[in-house]
Amino acid sequence: MLRPTSGRVLIAGGAGFLGSHLCERYLDMGWQVICLDNFYTGHRNNVRHLLQHPNFELVRHDIVEPYLAEVDLILNFACPASPVHYQSNPIKTMKTSVLGTMNLLGLAKRVGARYSHASTSEVYGDPQVHPQPEGYWGHVNPIGPRSCYDEGKRAAETLIFDYHRMHSLEVRVVRIFNTYGPRMAPDDGRVVSNFVVQALRGEDITIYGDGSQTRSFCYVDDLIDGILALTTQDEIIGPVNIGNASEFTVLELAEKVLKMTGSRSRIVRRPLPQDDPKVRRPDLTLAQKHLNYQPRVSLDMGLEKTIAYFSAHLKA
């Protein structure tokens, strides 16, 4: 049984968007936090406010190389998550997912730590089942431009479950659906930050394809609550979907952002990237049943906070 209020946690990818929120939450709960990051998409600024905390340590390290530390818990959130970034060096993305995960699983085995992993709704690919339950095996192109990420994450899940079966390693796997909020990088490239930044700068809002594809957007605080609930409890190991089941078209998102920012940006069309999933919405039954998980932040509320963050951040 892992007590939520003590111990040492290693957070890989801790200087990224989600990782930095996790570092903060674990420090608040009284843990000692080692934040590992190679700063590929993350930034020191995301954890700058934690650097003076006596229980916080920031280490520049690439998880493709082994790392040794005595810890009770490992959270692996190290991997570029935006299509633009994970496709810019696809071989590195695959190495991070597979070799990086193997290294951290090896460490967990060696020191007897629990291992909790950030998997993704991308394991369902361009889904033919809607909404997506965890039992759906997915519809993934193994050789396309998104495969480095999708198949990398699928291979990571395979490794995690093999370590669990072979070595009785304590594991947790969360499949994260599109999450947004403060500390996304302005140049991250994912849709929410792109639209908000474009609207605030008065630049064109770039809709890929006709904008009829859907996503279900989760505010970061809800997601972090779900991850902490999964990681701490002992009833299930996953994979468990965490996200928000309210589904919107990309065009609806663009119109909402325009209205909420009062921006005069124009909507322009760009080609739809290859293999871009047409729909996505989590089936949250498992998370509701076992983790009592219920997202609380509506898209309007979350966008308001995100717009406020980027307004301040872009001026600074």
Catalytically annotated residue among 26, 67, 124, 149: 149
* Residue closer to ligand UDP, measured from CB, 178 or 232: 178
Residues numbered 95 to 134 that lie near ligand NAD (CB under 6 A) are 96, 100, 118, 120
Among 9, 11, 15, 196, binds ligand NAD (CB under 6 A): 15
Q: Which element (helix H / strand E) includes 21?
A: helix 17-28
Tell which residue, 287, 172, 279, has the closest CA to residue 222: 287
Kindly state the number of chain residues that form the binding site for ligand NAD, as judged by CB under 6 A.
29
Can the peptide bond before residue 239 be classed as cis, meaning omega within 30 degrees of 0?
A: yes
Task: Decide which of ligand UDP, ligand NAD, none touches 261; Cβ closer than 5 to 8 Å per partner kind.
Answer: none
Residues numbered 72 to 91 that lie near ligand NAD (CB under 6 A) are 77-81
Contact 18, 188 (CB under 8 A): no
Residues numbered 178 to 237 that lie near ligand UDP (CB under 6 A) are 178, 190-191, 194, 206-208, 213, 215
Contact 24, 51 (CB under 8 A): no
The residue type at 183? R
Task: Decide which of ligand UDP, ligand NAD, none touches 16; Cβ closer than 5 to 8 Å per partner kind.
Answer: ligand NAD
Residue in this structure with the two tokens 């009284």, named with its chain if needed: 30
Contact 43, 19 (CB under 8 A): no
Q: How far apart are the first and last CA of the chain?
A: 44
* Residue closer to ligand NAD, measured from CB, 161 or 204: 161
Residue 251 Cβ vs ligand UDP, minimum distance, rounded to whole Å: 9
By CB under 6 A, tell whether 26 contacts ligand NAD.
no
SS3 call for 284: coil
Instruction: Establish whether 149 is a catalytic residue.
Output: yes
Closest residue by beta carbon to ligand NAD: 42
Cα-based distances in Å from 258 to 193, 196, 284? 13, 8, 29
Residue 77 Cβ vs ligand NAD, minimum distance, rounded to whole Å: 4
Residues forming the active site? 149
